[in-house]
Amino acid sequence: MPNETTSGEPLRIEVQARKYDGRVHRRWPATVVSQTGTLLVLDAAFAEEIRHPLLGTILPGTLSTEYYWTDRWYNVFRFCEPTGALRNYYCNVNTPAIFDGHTLSFTDLDIDVLIAPDFSFRVLDEEEFQVNSQRYGYPPELARRAHSALDELIALIESRQFPFTEIEQANRRLQ
């Protein structure tokens, strides 16, 4: 699918994070940067200030470069301050993204990974995954894929593979 409209303008879409029962949990506008094979890269910006218990205060204008795959069970967000400085990465374990040309959606499976610019990371919300596994009746195969996706994300972080190669590049620029 094209990255721009027929008028040459960047393609604006809506991203929808859903819960396992199908309801939309969060939604936001984004712009398609590229689509290569199963990878879609989007840009988005926070329109308002958000106070998050783990992420702290996210200022309006904070930029989010978002990596979604239609064949992987996770996505990756690279957050940069309004100044352009790398803030952190945030990963969601989820079902593979579905993109229809207007909307990109995925089912959030609760487990998250927060990665600092120094490559330290924390796995978050594993207990929420267990609670929702019971609440929604996650099938055993879904639970297996979620844990496999978490293992794959950790391996990418520890080996500094794409898209986490950009942390090293940002760290080198700051030195």
Q: What is the set of domains in the chain, with CATH numbers?
A: 12-174 (2.40.380.10)
Q: Pick the more confident residue, 17 or 1.
A: 17
End-to-end CA gap in the chain: 39
The tens digit of pLDDT for each residue in 7-28 reads 678 999 999 999 999 999 999 9
State the Cα torsion 88-67-17-123 to the nearest 10°. -40
Share of the chain above pLDDT 90, in %: 73
State the Cα torsion 146-162-26-18 to the nearest 10°. -30
Look at residue 6 and tell me whether its pLDDT is greater than 70: no
Q: What is the mean pLDDT of residues 33-60?
A: 89
Confidence of residue 169 (pLDDT cuts 50, 70, 90): low
Nearest to 36 by CA among 11, 70, 61: 70
Pick from 18-32, 79-93, 124-138, 161-175: least confident? 161-175
Coil, helix or strand at residue 132: helix
Q: How far apart are the C-alpha atoms of 66 and 79, rounded to whole Å?
A: 9
Do strands 103-115 and 12-18 pair parallel, antiparallel, or not at all (unpaired)? parallel
| Distance from chain centroid for Cα 118 | 19
Q: What is the mean pLDDT of residues 139-153?
A: 97
Q: How far apart are the C-alpha atoms of 54 and 87, rounded to whole Å?
A: 13
pTM for the whole structure = 0.90
Residue 170's pLDDT is 52
Tokens of 139: 């099938």
